[in-house]
Amino acid sequence: MTRDQNGTWEMESNENFEGYMKAL
């Protein structure tokens, strides 16, 4: 995994996590 891919994955994960918390 490159640093860019990891950074992008973290951003997407954070956005999905926020949406998950809002869904709760």
b/e per residue 5-18 (b: at least 16 CB within 10 A): eeeeeeeeeeeeee
**Which ranges in 1-24 belong to alpha helices (H)?**
3-23
Residues 1-24 have pLDDT tens digits of 556 666 666 777 778 888 877 877
Query: What integer pLDDT is reported at residue 5 of this predicted model?
Result: 67
- Tokens 């951003």 appear where? 11
What is the reported pTM? 0.31
Query: What integer pLDDT is reported at residue 18 of this predicted model?
Result: 85
Cα 6–chain centre separation: 10
Query: What integer pLDDT is reported at residue 12 of this predicted model?
Result: 74
